Amino acid sequence: MILNNLPARYRTSPFAVLCAAWVGATGGSAHVVYQVRRDPNRRGEWFFSQDAELNFPHTFLARKSWSTARATIYPLRPGLRFLARFRPTHIFAAGWDSPASLACAAFARLTGARLVIWVESNATTSLARRGATALIKRFVLGAAGAVVVPTRASYDLVVSISQSEMDVAFLANPVALERMTDDGSDGRRILFIGELSARKGFDVFMEACALGAHAGWTGLAWGDDTEGLAAQAPANCRVAPARPLEVLIPDLRSADVWAIPSRRDPAPLTFSEALALGLRVTVSDAIAYSELATSTLGADVHGAEDPESLIASAERLISGSRPTDRSAAEVSEVYWADGIMRLLNKGVSA
């Protein structure tokens, strides 16, 4: 069984790969459980998978959408009822701080089911250390036999909360993208793709663009202008509405530098997308992937609040190599599914 919060498009294809891998290897069955339905009015319909795209057995625990379920989000009782009926021997939970994941942890403790948790946070990005959320995390992680994390810092957070070591796989968010061929471009252009907000560091990005103008840098950003920041964009930074990445790829160049200047963002999908496409990428030191970026060719780290650091990072990257084919392979869906399968198969037989 796979548990997720809602049917986001970026998780649908990897879940299909994982389901197929599980059924093929064990001869058993796989079922994806979503806590709430998609909301067509939130972040654009393209963000969500349509029901027809969910080409694997799946269940919605709540009939409500994300926005209308806020008062009762992450239902506990439906999760317990489903677990009692479905009785999974293995559970992969792509979430670890909700009543639904709490239900999975309780079920695993009672039945001995193998529970694998996906944790993308580290001590910087996961700030809830007290109250109900902290207690849920401790209970859930204490029931897990294994954890999937992006970096050692994320694993250290898990151990500090659960107070125990466990099996681990270090995996980044999976994507299905082909590497861009070298198009011979050599211009200084820096990209931002995501919500145009202070949390995502868009203000820092714009300041970096302005600072880099004298060196020939230009900026190109796509995203929802949730805070009205786009009006402050400098002359050398063009801003456009949010679009699915596959629509944007024809406008990208192999020499582009992708900036991820988030102030708080556990493990943004954009990091994996940049590596898969073979684009140089700079991430802020406030996100969980910063540790991974320091050891990845074609990736670099800049200060979360420092536009000068961001543009300096872009300068370092443009003079070096693009990410390698190996980096692209390590963010593929097959690599991700293989890592999770190894953790699942360490536990109870199917």
Instruction: Provide the pLDDT for residue 52.
Output: 77
Q: Are the beta carbons of 322 and 304 closer than 8 angstroms?
A: no
Neighbours of 155 (CB within 10 A): 20
CATH 3.40.50.2000 location in the chain: 2-174+333-344, 189-329
Residue bearing the bigger pLDDT, 178 or 163: 178
Mean pLDDT of 24-53: 77
Please tell me what DSSP assigns to residue 227: T
Instruction: Provide the pLDDT for residue 129.
Output: 57
Q: Over the stretch 168-189, which tens digit does the pLDDT of each residue have?
A: 999 999 999 999 999 988 889 9
Q: pLDDT band for position 348 (50/70/90)?
A: very low
Max distance between CA atoms of the chain, in angstroms, equals: 64
First to last CA, the chain: 12
3-state secondary structure of 149: strand
Instruction: Provide the pLDDT for residue 38.
Output: 66
Mean pLDDT of 118-125: 72
Crossing angle, helix 131-143 and helix 152-162, to 10 degrees?
Answer: 100
Whether the pLDDT of residue 124 is over 60: the answer is no
Instruction: Provide the pLDDT for residue 126.
Output: 56
3-state secondary structure of 342: helix
Query: For residues 236 and 328, what is the distance between their CA atoms, to the nearest angstrom?
Result: 30
Whether the pLDDT of residue 349 is over 50: the answer is no
Query: For residues 241 and 251, what is the distance between their CA atoms, to the nearest angstrom?
Result: 14
Closest CA to 296 of 274, 325, 270, 327: 327
Domain 2-174+333-344 has CATH 3.40.50.2000: yes
Instruction: Provide the pLDDT for residue 125.
Output: 56
Tracing tokens 């300096």 back to the chain, one arrives at 312
Whether the pLDDT of residue 113 is over 70: the answer is yes
Starting at the edge strand that comes first in sequence, how are the strands of the sheet with 257-260 ordered? 237-240, 218-222, 189-193, 257-260, 280-284, 299-302
Structure tokens that stand for 198 in this block: 């202070």
Please tell me what DSSP assigns to residue 43: S
Query: For residues 335 and 331, what is the distance between their CA atoms, to the nearest angstrom?
Result: 7
Instruction: Provide the pLDDT for residue 271.
Output: 95
Instruction: Provide the pLDDT for residue 304.
Output: 94
Tally of residues, the chain: 350
Q: pLDDT band for position 285 (50/70/90)?
A: very high
Instruction: Provide the pLDDT for residue 266.
Output: 75
Residue bearing the bigger pLDDT, 313 or 348: 313
Whether the pLDDT of residue 254 is over 50: the answer is yes
For 189-329, CATH gives 3.40.50.2000
Q: Over the stretch 290-323, which tens digit does the pLDDT of each residue have?
A: 888 988 999 999 999 999 999 999 999 999 999 9
**Chain-wide mean pLDDT for the chain?**
88
Q: Are the beta carbons of 69 and 40 closer than 8 angstroms?
A: no
Tracing tokens 């992937």 back to the chain, one arrives at 289
Whether the pLDDT of residue 127 is over 70: the answer is no
Q: Over the stretch 186-245, which tens digit does the pLDDT of each residue have?
A: 889 999 999 999 999 999 999 999 999 999 999 999 999 999 999 999 999 999 999 889
Whether the pLDDT of residue 56 is over 90: the answer is yes
